[in-house]
Structure 1
Amino acid sequence: MSSHKGYRSLKFGVLFLALLAIFPLGLLLRSTPALRKPFWIVFGALPFFAAAIPMFDIGLLSWSGYWIGFVYGLQVTIIDLLAAAVLFTLPRGRLPMWCKLPFLLYIFAAALSLLQADEPVAASFGLLQFVRIFFVMVVVARASADPDVPFLILKGMAIGMAAHFVAVLYQRFQLQLPQTMGLFIHQNTLGMAAHFVLFPHLALLLAGYRHVRYLVGMVVATIVVVVFTASRATVGFSVIGLGTLFVTQALAGLTQRKMAVGFAALASLLIVAPLAISTFSNRFELNPLGESQYDERAAFNRAASLILDDYPLGVGINHYVHMARDFGYSERAGVIGFEGNRNNIVHNAYWLTAAEAGYPGVIAFCIMLIVPMFVAWWTGWRSRGTLEGNLLLGFGVTLLIAYLHSFYEWVIFIKEIQYLLAMTMGMVFGIALRLKAPGTNARQAAPTKVMPINAV
């Protein structure tokens, strides 16, 4: 008991020191421009190391062991504190309301769900997490007025994925794990995180970004990570995303670079296919599928549907497990009565939102997701002759695949993925606003001659 109190006191001490350091760090970043480059690289990398950093989360109030949800306490993270510090370095100005309103609508809907919650404190855990994520999105969007910031954040994400690549190789070949999770606690989290690295880097490679070795290495490493997760959804949606990005780039205008990367991708598929088949064979040999007898995802979805039927306004954010397990919805839906099953969250982000925040919440949630994706596709296509325009198209594919993947997973609610989502949304808004500004000199895409599609 005393050790627990000591650890809690240590966390509060760290939080106090971190809060004191926000303003000096902001002043240091403002007065020392040379620090901004490593700062944004570290900022982009941190979500990938969150689970491995003991003091990444500073819990103000923890219900761990008592409450089961996508968040179990009032938390502040290193990323939140760094975002607060960098706020002092940003030029004056505000993010337009149309960029913020969709997110604010969902936060409002989530706040209304507190009125339906059996445990409003537990519901406030989820609400605060979205408020923190919104803050990070706004800071990244404003910072992305500097054209170098998105590329630095992506470089940080690449460093994070490189660390997972090393961990995945160790887990697969040394530990002989059939499914690898890297530095995260589950392979599905790693699979979702891979989307936020793979498609933007591939878009830059196709667009003619000069750092070819870095881009090729990162794309190949991320594909290997995707394969070794042995997650059907991760691999399937990654393939869909690759196809979507190649088709989009072809419609935008074929270049020698795009043709070369396309042929290299086809050759790589021939090499990776046996590896993927072997990986899935190992997984299913140890854990055979039994979906013909019991479809767990369908059972969870039925439970969420039953909750929504009884509570059209939701049962409170962060409350799905409480309602499904303790009020008989899991039993009525046919969820197997093992503790692990009954304590699990519905494997569908949209059903989870609908059950917890009701119809208003799921509508607001979808609007929040769709707006930045639309901005990425629309502005990216209009600026497809520029490097930033192609990057926006890569972000558009990233968001599309993450949203489709969320029909089969709820991990988009995990803080590490939410930070990646917020950073991507922020970069989309920041780049789009910069491209729309008068007098903007955007960097041109591939220097090679554009080939008409009908010439191929």
Structure 2
Amino acid sequence: MKFVVLIMALASAFPLSLGVRGNAAFARLFWTLFGLLPFLAAALPLFDIGIISWAGEWVGFVYSLEITIVDILALAALLAVPGGPVPWAYKVPLLVYIAVASLSIFQATEPLAATFGIWQFMRMFLVVVAVTRAARHDPKVVVDILRGMAIGMGMNVIAVVYQRFGLDLTQTRGLFVHQNTLGLTTHFVLFPHLAMLLYGYGRLRYLVPAIMATVLVVIFTASRAAVGLAAIGMVITYCALALAGLTQRKVMLALAAAVALAAVAPMAISTFQNRFEAVPLTEEEYDERAAFELAASYIVADYPAGVGVNHYVYIAKNFGYSERANVSPSEGNRNNIVHNAYWLAAVETGYLGLFAFVLMLAVPLVTALKWGWRERMTAEGNLLLGMGVAMLIAYVHSMYEWVIFAREIQYLLFSTMGMAFGLSLRAAVKWRTAPAGRSTARSAYAAAPAHPSAMPARWQATR
């Protein structure tokens, strides 16, 4: 039966693509859903189809060979959007990581389980290519995807308020399975929307509510990393856009943010007090993260080429590494993944895989920051800077969490990469075709007023 459903789902990609290509209103709804659905992955029963599933039998960042609704939408988008291929410079880093991960199958104790992880990254390749092409073809796609992400965060704020005050949870997880996953999702919503607000991107009246809702979600996760990095990211975003051109709007928003901070500070303090009263910190007695990382270091020392994608828990638990690193003997701890994405990449795909993983993350970050700064007097440039900060903070956060490997986070991450690539390609074309060369273009940007009325016509149409 599930294969019949799978065939029907894949077949639906073609009519969806026709709708996206032929109807502007449908296309807007399509891309809004594309941004929203990752927030519902854990709560939506029909979100995925497990072709082969080891649920309950395998512990890793993925336990099935699956296809999700987002994959079907990405396939439909690829069929719908005209245009040439994505430059190899943008595709090669992810392809290299997929290739290295594929080689790790030969080290894997359970090759099929390793295939689950590789298949997930192959689906993300589809996502990044589809979003890149769409954003390059029409920048309104970026606004629609971000709107969907904001709606998803709005659903989560309702959930966290209920969990905090209705269920009296000290750490809320929203619609996700864990508060750390929710905390990482906030980066991809908060910083691009903050960048648009600081720029003065008008008529998107949901910007302030979206930012406030995201900050509230961050606070109620009671995650030290999420709260601290959100604050750092907001400061970086503001400083970057202030350096691009300090306006009266940005000064007023800074003052408003200071007042808002004073208002929410007592709530944040109370949230952390409730958390630590319910579950006191015991890191002086037992540092869970340090124990996991020690186990990971032992595995890498013994297997410098990696143990196989999606195999950390299996190797650490069954080959004595968790015990050797004094990981707590409880089943929950022994079945947990090292709380550091970079150690996880090193364990599963070796040193070569770690290099490929970092390269895969670095290319879109550098691209977003490079073209964001060059286009800093435009709406596209500000959005690129906001996306660059989102990726940067997510990468730093991944030094304390592994969930950047989870499919929910990866959909948001690779969608953000695709949006950054698409806008960068548009900026590159504009610079190449500037009549008097890049120096004249740079001067024109420096002289342009940072006001919504000065935005390109293609962006004003989305306002």
SS of the aligned residue for 1:59 comes to: strand
| CA shift for structure 1 position 176 | 1.0
Give the secondary-structure state (helix, strand or coil) at the position aligned to 1:437: helix
The answer to whether the aligner puts 1:93 opposite 2:97 as a matched pair is no
SS of aligned partner of 2:277: helix
Q: Distance in 1 between matches of 2:452 and 2:398?
A: 37
Q: Which residue of 2 aligns with 1:148?
A: 140
Query: CA separation in 2, counterparts of 1:199 and 1:171?
Result: 25
Deviation at 1:213, TM superposition (A): 3.3
User: 130, 137, 151: which one pairs with 1:139?
Assistant: 130
Partner of 1:71: 62
1:36 aligns with 2:40: no
Determine helix, strand or coil for the equivalent of 1:344. coil
Tell me, yes or no, if the aligned pair for 1:71 and 1:126 is still in contact at 8 Å.
Answer: yes
Match of 1:324 among 316, 322, 326: 316
CA contact (8 A) 1:257 1:446 kept: no
Compared CA separation, residues 339 and 135, structure 1 to 2 (3 A)? same
Aligned AA for 1:101?
V
Pairwise CA distance, 1:336: 1.0
Q: Match of 1:414?
A: 406
Q: CA deviation at 1:212?
A: 5.5
Contact 1:256/1:448 (8 A) holds in 2: no
2:201 and 2:452 in contact (8 A); partners too:
no
Residue identity opposite 1:141 in structure 2: T
Question: What's the RMSD between the two structures over aligned residues?
Answer: 1.7
Which whole-Å deviations, capped at 9, do the CAs of 1:14-50 have from their partners, x for residues lacking one? 2121122122222232233331111101111010111
1:113 aligns with 2:104: yes
User: Which one of 272, 291, 296 corresponds to residue 299 of structure 1?
Assistant: 291
Q: For residues 310 and 347 of structure 1, what CA distance do their matches in structure 2 show?
A: 20
| Superposed counterparts of 1:279-298, under 5 Å | 279-298=271-290
In the aligned structure 2, how far is the partner of 1:318 from the partner of 1:418?
A: 15
1:371–1:50 CA distance, 2 compared to 1 (3 A): same
Question: Is 1:240 the equivalent of 2:244?
Answer: no
Contact 2:128-2:415 within 8 A present in 1 as well = yes
Q: Secondary structure at the match of 1:203?
A: helix
2:117 alignment counterpart? 126
1:382-420 Cα shifts (integer Å, max 9, x gaps):
110001100000001000000000000001011000000
Whether the 8 Å contact between 1:207 and 1:445 is mirrored in structure 2 is no
Q: Decide whether aligned partners of structure 1 residues 176 and 437 sit closer, same or farther in structure 2, where only a CA change above 3 A counts.
A: same
- Residue in 2 that maps onto 1:273: 265
Alignment correspondent of 1:166: 158
Output the CA distance in 1 between the equivalents of 2:365 and 2:322: 34
How far the C-alpha of 1:250 sits from its partner, in A, is 1.6
Which runs of 5 or more structure 2 residues have no equivalent in the other structure? 435-440, 455-463
Per-residue CA deviations over 1:226-276 (Å, capped at 9, x if unaligned) read: 000000110011111011111111211101111111111111111111000
Greater displacement, 103-112 / 430-439: 430-439
Q: Distance in 2 between the 1:310 and 1:290 partners? A: 30
Give 1:82's aligned residue.
73
Matched, 1:59 2:50: yes
Q: Take 2:86 and 2:32, find their aligned partners in 1: how far apart are those partners?
A: 23
Query: Which sits farther off after the overlay, 174-183 or 322-331?
Result: 174-183
Measure how far apart 1:449 and its partner are: 12
Distance across 2 between alignment mates of 1:377 and 1:51: 32
Normalised TM-score (structure 2): 0.93
Q: Does 1:446 align with 2:450?
A: yes
C-alpha distance in structure 2 between counterparts of 1:237 and 1:402, whole Å = 9
The Cα shift of 1:445 comes to 7.1
Alignment partner of 1:220: what SS?
helix
Q: Is it true that 1:185 corresponds to 2:177 in the alignment?
A: yes
1:231 and 2:235 equivalent?
no
Name the aligned partner's letter for residue 167 of structure 2: L
| Cα deviation, residue 111, structure 1 | 0.6
Comparing 22-31 with 213-222, greater Cα deviation is found at: 22-31
Question: Does 2:16 match 1:12?
Answer: no
Say if 2:83 and 2:133, in contact at 8 Å, map to a contact too: no
SS in 2 for 1:279: helix
Q: Note if contact 2:184-2:226 (Cα within 8 Å) is conserved in structure 1.
A: yes
Whether 1:335 aligns to 2:327 is yes
Contact persistence 1:380–1:393 (CA under 8 A): yes
Q: Could you tell me how far apart the structure 2 residues matched to 1:366 and 1:270 are?
A: 37
Q: Deviations over 1:195-248 (max 9, x none)?
A: 000000000000110036311111111000000000011001111101111111
TM score, norm. by length of structure 1: 0.94
Matches within 5 A, 1:254-269: 254-269=246-261
- What is the match of residue 3 of structure 1? none
How many equivalent residue pairs?
Answer: 441
Q: Secondary structure at the match of 1:144?
A: helix
Question: What SS is found at the alignment partner of 1:51?
Answer: coil
- Is 1:357 aligned to 2:354, yes or no? no
CA contact (8 A) 1:208 1:445 kept: no
Measured after TM superposition, the shift of residue 448 of structure 1 is: 8.2
